[in-house]
Amino acid sequence: MTRAFAAILAAVALAVGPGIGTAAQKQKQKQQQRQIQTQAQTAPAKPRIVWDPIPFGAKRKAEMVAYVRRHYGSFLRPTWRLVDPHVIVIHYTESSTFSSVWNTFADDVPDTELHELPGTCAHFVVDTNGTIYQLVSLGTMCRHTVGLNWTAIGIENVGFSDAQVMDNPRQMSSDLRLVHWLRCRFDIETGNVIGHNESLSSPYHREDVASLRDQTHGDFNHADMQVYRSRLRALGGCPRT
């Protein structure tokens, strides 16, 4: 009689599916799915950023408008404002101190390479000790990458080579956390986080001055950025919108 009753129970369980026998497991699976979804929807925390602005007054803004007119006027209304950035460009400074970088960017004079105004700048500088400095508002264009200034956020790392920066755990950790936060804030794909040396291959690269259409720099080449982007992906994705 007991065996018959057990057989009946087994048949019922098969008829209605696994819901009766595994209700607790299904509930646990639902909870795990909700946890995964919650994690995916949680924006990365903004890292600690020291606001140390360079002078960017009316004169420099007017120079930026003139620069945009010369370099991007065929497709962009001249402005000094950075609107809806699509790219983040990683650089190194070719200097040993943050103060020297700040002074170079603050000094609004023609650069030694292209002899243009406004002076060069980047939105952020990551020091060797991991301190993140913000020099310019994210709503303002900076001159840091020919062909991409119109739509790119620039991040400089104090140092003289890709390897020096990438082998510095404190500096690299701060850089990656900053970029993770920025790309999620502006919905920038990981593939559009590039090294300066990759600028010509960006789908957003546009340059009206013919002589500058092949101009780039050597910092953060493709091979090193493949490693960099792998590290960035390891930090996780961005909230779904």
pLDDT single digits (tens) 214-236: 999 999 999 999 999 999 999 99
- pTM for this one? 0.83
pLDDT at 240: 74
User: Which parts of the chain register pLDDT below 50?
Assistant: 1-21, 38-40
Q: Which residues 6+ apart lie within 8 Å of 192 measured at CB?
A: 86, 87, 88, 183, 202, 204
User: Domain residues of the chain, as ranges?
Assistant: 50-234
pLDDT at 15: 37
Residue 73 token pair: 């006027």
Q: Which residues 6+ apart lie within 8 Å of 71 measured at CB?
A: 146, 147, 149, 150, 207, 208, 209, 212
Residue range 50-234 forms a domain whose CATH class is alpha beta
Peptide bond into 85 cis (omega under 30): no
Q: CA 88 from chain center: how many Å?
A: 5
